Amino acid sequence: MGERLALNILARCSGVASRARRLRTLADSLGYTGVIAGTRKTTPGFRLVEKYGMEVGGADTHRMDLSTMVMLKDNHIWATGSITNAVKSARSVAGFSIKIEVECQSENDAYEAIDAGADIVMLDNFTPDDMRFAASNIKTKCLSTNHSVLIEASGGITEETAPLYMSPGIDIISFGTMTQSVPHVDFSLKIAHDTGEPTPNTNGVIDF
């Protein structure tokens, strides 16, 4: 009764783990030491399995759920009027122990987020060249102003384009594709039955 369910879970989780491992291996081969992460774009009701697949594959799980980090996206910013208002509002309820990340559409957005107290800035949907240029500028300015901030690259990054984003100024690269449209690994489950043929046991000895 549980065969197909077990195989579907195994196939899905293994597909996520395999993509995570390929991305981590690619990063290592290029000397990129930053974080390779998934996102919260997981299958409804299946998040824990897919996050487990990321971890097994060598990727970071990013936020496990909404309680582990505040992510301020464009709608939050528009609803409060500005990045500064959104960060200050979030900090007032999140306290000192929860990090705040802000989705930024431009380099100036990132500077406003940093000045407002964000811990992480996500440069969203930048081209690879613009991403590297902006990340380098932000890191340089943070050094001169004694700010400490992490920079995350995100938005439509795939296995094919990932190498273009793997530069020293980018601390985290997150992939929605680690769970979205990921190919499953094809497994089958066979019931052991007596064919009359000798079979090897776990010690490699033929049993009759």
Looking up residue 143, the CATH number of its domain turns out to be 3.20.20.70
For every residue of 119-153, which 3-state class applies, written as one string?
CEEEEECCCHHHHHHHHHHHHHHHHHHCCCCEEEE
Q: Which residues are catalytic?
A: 41
Task: Tell me the pLDDT tens digit for each residue of 104-125.
Answer: 999 999 999 999 999 999 999 9
Residue-level pLDDT at 66: 83
Residue 143 covered by a domain: yes
Predicted local distance difference test score (pLDDT) of residue 206: 46
What's 161's DSSP letter?
T
Whether residue 75 is contained in a domain is answered as no
| Domain residue limits at 159 | 3-64+116-184
Q: Is the pLDDT of residue 73 over 90?
A: yes
In a domain, 104, yes or no: no
pLDDT band at 67 (very low <50, low <70, confident <90, very high): confident
Strand order in the sheet with 150-154: 35-37, 172-174, 150-154, 120-124, 100-104, 70-72
Q: Is residue 81 part of a domain?
A: no
Indicate the pTM of the whole model. Answer: 0.86
Q: State pLDDT tens for residues 147-194.
A: 889 999 999 899 999 999 999 999 999 999 999 889 999 888 887 777
| pLDDT above 70: residue 80 | yes
CA dist 22 and 34 (Å) reads: 15
Give me the chain's average pLDDT, please: 91
- Into how many domains does the chain fold? 1
pLDDT for 187 equals: 85
Question: Which of 3, 9, 23, 22 has the alpha carbon at shortest distance from 52?
Answer: 9
Q: Is residue 76 in a domain? A: no
Residue 72 domain-assigned (yes or no): no
Q: Band the pLDDT of 207: cuts 50, 70, 90.
A: very low
Q: Which residues have CB under 8 Å from 202's CB, separation 6+?
A: none
Q: Once rounded to an integer, what is the mean pLDDT over residues 45-66?
A: 93
Please check the confidence at residue 57 and state whether its pLDDT lies above 80: yes
Tell me which of 145 and 161 has the higher pLDDT: 161
Query: What mean pLDDT comes out for the span 60-86?
Result: 93
Residue 85 covered by a domain: no
> For 21-31, how does the pLDDT look when each residue is reduced to its tens digit (9 = 90+)?
999 999 999 99
Q: What is the pLDDT of residue 40?
A: 84
pLDDT of residue 101: 97
